[in-house]
Amino acid sequence: MSENINYPMTIAEKIFSKASGKAVKAGEFVLANIDRAMTHDITGPLAIDGFYEIMASKQEKKVWDPSKIVIIFDHQVPADSLNAAANHIKLRKFSQEQGILNYDVYEGICHQIMPEKGHVRPGDLVVGSDSHTCAYGAIGAFSTGIGSTDMAAVFATGKLWFKVPDTIRFEVEGKLPKMVYSKDLILHLIGDIGVEGARYQAAEYAGSTIHSMSISERMTISNMAIEMGGKAGIIEADEITAAYLEERIPDYKFDPYWKPDDGAKYSEIRKYDISKLEPQVACPHNVDNVKPVTEVEGTKLDQIFVGSCTNGRFEDIEVVAKIMGDEPVAKGVRLLVIPASRTEYLKVLKAGYVEQFMEAGAIVEAPCCGPCMGGSFGLLGDGEVGLATSNRNFKGREGSPASFVYLSSPATAAASALTGEITDPRKV
Ligand SMILES: CC(C)[C@H](C(=O)O)[C@@H](O)C(=O)O
Ligand code: SF4
């Protein structure tokens, strides 16, 4: 896009300017055209009801553009109740009637599938009826979570109103120390700024540390923008993004426009040197209750869950496999590994890790959200303590309100699987 704009813009301002067809600044209200809309098996059924309600007086009840909507089955798969089965039937029927692409049971978690299958490009405005839709900021898009009723309006019109958010810029420099990963970095940022620190703002993650990361590592960071209250978590597209997209989108051409202008106005610029960062753990019951692993070492665990849209990719699972080697899972602790998509699962399988995990006493499940939000299986009971590579640890998040969830990187999860208690991965 090459509009004549005479003031410097953040990435969010550029994307909302394109989406609303006029140059806009943070704080303005816009009616924006949506490039992509994603919904899933939990929030989709309500969006469909809302859509038909909006269309009640119309003869032709068609969505605005079926090629821009994606429906994904991931939270309750395969159906774990009659209610879930009914929701699945409703989504399949709607996809078929409207000509919408759907990824059925076990294709993968929505936030993995959207970038993986090439549904997101830098500069896109993407909405999803799920709070971690901010994950596609890793591709340089402005993507954000919306409710089912907003999604119904998007289905009907392809438009949604927004207040163009202010942007907080996080500039991160330094090489991550050994056994310290992008998950440790984002937990550190959230611990520092707090769960409301970026409320209704876009986060721009920048600096040499971020730009040396793979898309998988970036996805972990963008995914958790919502855990600091952020509306989006954007990383300027670079040659690593371009290589990722060229593999997935046949006509993809890198557009250097989708970066912040020099002199763009930020509500705040926060600078970090992470060359001495320790592995981080978010402790019960808040994502910003973050401590260095050394402060919680020795906490006894009942279950360890490696997976979710935050850290369920091949790279994450490979870290676990390599740290564990041919050692068994410690007695008394259950290790659940859930790759984030069918593609990621196949990579794990072909690398021989499924066999390795099964021999170690772990279980490898088919792709889905798993116990991440206390959904279909793997729940924690009263008094149980879990460690997860996912993104939330609110009371009851993984099952009983009387259970405890710690969050960490896959490396810390692997080290802890070997001992049955929270363990510093630098010590194994
Ligand atoms: C089920 C869905 C509405 C929910 C979300 O929006 O985030 C879930 O994915 C989660 O992670 O809690
Ligand atoms: S893996 Fe967890 S955080 Fe991600 S979409 Fe599923 S339930 Fe939400």
Which strands form 334-338's sheet, in the order they lie side by side? 290-292, 280-282, 404-407, 385-388, 303-307, 334-338, 363-364
The pLDDT assigned to 2 comes to 47
Pocket test for ligand 2, best of 369, 398, 405 (most atoms within 8 A of CB): 369
CA 139, CA 129: separation in Å to the nearest integer? 19
Nearest ligand (C-alpha, residue 109) = 2
Domain positions in the chain:
11-272, 281-427
The pLDDT assigned to 4 comes to 56
Q: Does the beta carbon of 373 sit less than 6 angstroms from any atom of ligand 1?
A: yes
Per-residue pLDDT of the chain (428 residues; tens, 9 = 90+): 445 567 999 999 999 999 999 999 999 999 999 999 999 999 999 999 999 999 999 999 999 999 999 999 999 999 999 999 999 999 999 999 999 999 999 999 999 999 999 999 999 999 999 999 999 999 999 999 999 999 999 999 999 999 999 999 999 999 999 999 999 999 999 999 999 999 999 999 999 999 999 999 999 999 999 999 999 999 999 999 999 999 999 999 999 999 999 999 999 999 999 999 999 999 999 999 999 999 999 999 999 999 999 999 999 999 999 999 999 999 999 999 999 999 999 999 999 999 999 999 999 999 999 999 987 789 999 999 999 999 999 999 999 999 999 999 999 999 999 999 999 999 99
Q: What is the whole-number distance in angstroms between the Cα of residue 308 and the centre of ligand 2? A: 6
Question: 272 φ, ψ to 5°?
Answer: -135, 135
Tokens of 369: 């959200």
Instruction: Point out the ligand 2 atom lying closest to the alpha carbon of residue 74.
Output: 6
134 is in an annotated binding site: no
> CATH number of 281-427: 3.40.470.10, 3.30.70.20, 1.10.580.10, 3.30.499.10?
3.30.499.10
For residue 245, the Cα-to-chain-centroid distance in whole angstroms is: 18
Tokens of 294: 């050394």
Q: What is the whole-number distance in angstroms between the Cα of residue 84 and the centre of ligand 2? A: 16
The pLDDT assigned to 5 comes to 67
Q: How many residues does the chain have?
A: 428
281-427 has the same fold as 11-272: yes
DSSP state of 118: T
The pLDDT assigned to 404 comes to 98
Domain 11-272 has CATH 3.50.50.60: no
Find tokens 């429906």 and name the residue. Answer: 71
